[in-house]
Amino acid sequence: MIWQAWLERQQPTQVPGETPSAASRPAPGADLPPDAPASATPGDVPQAPATPATAPAPVQDQPETRPAGAQRIRVTTDLLRVELDTLGGGPRRVELLTYPVEVDEPDNPVALFHQDGGDLLFAQSGLIARDRELPNHRTVYRAEQQSYTLQPGADRLEVPLHWSGPDGVEYSKVLVFERDSYVIGIEYRVRNTTDSPWEGYFYGQFLSRPLEEKGGFMLAPRNLSYVGGAVYTPADKYRKISFDDIRDGEPPVTTDSGWVAMLQHYFVSAWLPEPQTGLQFYSRDLDGRYNLGYKTTTPLVLAPGEQGVLRTRLYTGPKEHDRLEQLAEGMVLTVDYGWLTPVAAPLFWILDWIHGVVRNWGWAIILLTVLIKLVFYPLSAASYKSMARMRALQPRMKTLKERYGDDRQKFNQAMMELYKTEKVNPMGGCLPIAVQIPVFIALYWVLIESVEMRQAPFALWLQDLSSPDPFFVLPIIMGVSMLVQQLISPAPMDPMQKKIMMALPIVFTGFFLLFPAGLVLYWTVNNILSIAQQWRINQVIGAKK
């Protein structure tokens, strides 16, 4: 914790919402992929690189004055409330209507695309070419109306935006919304009205400047959950690209399919390209702001008088397993369980199946805990039997301690002889539990990473399993159960160790006061089941003695 605090002190402070000065802004071309030349004029589409097989670089993004004529358009569906900007024709704010920020503020939805103070996240897209000006994320489009609403009974809503190039080519950027979907379809419909062939490439990128919001209890879910970029390709599969990686100069990746995403706790935004003969994923550090996106490397070519369409999809929504599995290969991996994914993924599948039966995530957690306890019963029984035998030997070990006093060597020899005579393995209580540790950690990640658990009610005062118990009742019950476990387990011979072990329930109770209620519920039920199992085994072995 001291090391983390020291690192934070070394970071230059910036007032939230402060706009970088002109001197600190990235120079023209600073956000271009390595193989592209800088544009001659800030804001213009750069010239094509010399290599014919490489697409032109996306337009650079610099802070600039908002042009006249740009306006906002409101779009409302059953799941989304979106503010489109005719400057660039992209979503500037996306609110998830069924995901409130707080459970007691149902009318305050989570905003994934936004600019709040110094924190921002946008999706930008456009067309680029080597020999002409094409509409990009700085182009001001014409809108047909100011607001759109997905009407009852309708499954699809199209929002068209228009622009005509200086050469007379007609462009329509159409954003497509569908019912019960967080996907925004983006279509660039091009009509070549000139006498010469038309050629263009597509790019889609995220512009992000995250604020460091982590703090407080170091094991809190918001401190452990990954926030940053990720890409997926058939060759490299799922790979995270953190903001540190972007600052260090992450090289571009060439592929023919895949996706690129920005991850947050519980939510994800992802560009889902159409299958292409050539794609390039790229990232760029813009002096504290970051680009992560893709561009096509095979152009759309239109003959004179011909029409064509460039399509892509943009997902911005929760990490719901069912939706992610249907979006694209590998998207479900954005629910980041870390290196324990092979264990955590089946655990979530079982938890989700139980929830489908009982329709309550709290009871699903309880039943999953019981199920895990049954699966590991043989190991737990062996562990508790070993601890019970150790407990039965406590009086004899105390006698040996008194007999040999401070002669630790003779005391240890006598103790090992006692273990051998009674056929007791002092490590027998630890090893079976150690085998279960990966399962416990995996379940921890399932409970803190699954958006299905977010603001899920259980019963009585527990109306949000993803937040701490508001009255601290469950953590106190957990602490009492842990204390009972200590009392029925063999106490260490060393007085200092004994005091430390007895203090652990208090320490863990303090930790669990800040843990999500779902985690505390799991741990409490597990403790109660362990107490019942340990007590029963103690009774059986005591009767035999």
pLDDT score at 141: 93
Q: Mean pLDDT lowest for which of 27-41, 235-249, 280-294, 470-484? A: 27-41
Query: Which range is most confident: 92-96, 245-249, 393-397, 537-541?
Result: 92-96
Assign 146 a pLDDT band (cuts: 50, 70, 90): very high
Predicted confidence (pLDDT) per residue in 29-57, tens digit = 334 333 433 333 233 332 333 344 455 66
Helix ranges (DSSP H) in 232-320:
243-247
Specify if 422 maps to a domain: yes
The angle formed by the CA atoms of residues 468, 316 and 176, to the nearest 5 degrees, is 145
Q: Do 222 and 258 belong to one domain?
A: yes
Specify if 310 maps to a domain: yes
Q: Do 295 and 429 belong to one domain?
A: no
| Paired tokens of 235 | 């060759």
User: What's 14's DSSP letter?
Assistant: -
DSSP string, 73-142: EEEE-SSEEEEEETBTTEEEEEEEEEEESSTT-TTSEEEEEEEETTEEEEEEEEEE-SSS----TT-B-E
Instruction: Identify the CATH number of the domain in which residue 296 sits.
Output: 2.70.98.90
Specify if 202 maps to a domain: yes
pTM of the model: 0.77
Q: Do 430 and 483 belong to one domain?
A: yes
Specify if 5 maps to a domain: no
Mean pLDDT for the chain overall: 79
pLDDT of 385 over the 70 cut? no
Q: Do 314 and 436 belong to one domain?
A: no
Assign 7 a pLDDT band (cuts: 50, 70, 90): low
**More confident call, 417 vs 11:** 417
Given 336, 369, 387, the domain boundary residue is: 336
Given 307, 336, 365, the domain boundary residue is: 336
Structurally, how many domains does the chain consist of? 2
Give the range of the structural domain holding residue 462, as residue numbers without chain letter.
343-544
pLDDT score at 60: 59
Q: Do 351 and 486 belong to one domain?
A: yes
Given 281, 313, 336, the domain boundary residue is: 336
What CA–CA distance (Å, rounded) separates 19 from 123? 19
Q: Going edge to edge, which strands form the sheet with 142-143?
A: 142-143, 156-164, 170-178, 183-191, 307-318, 267-273, 259-263, 228-233, 237-241
Predicted confidence (pLDDT) per residue in 183-202, tens digit = 999 999 999 998 999 999 99
pLDDT score at 22: 35
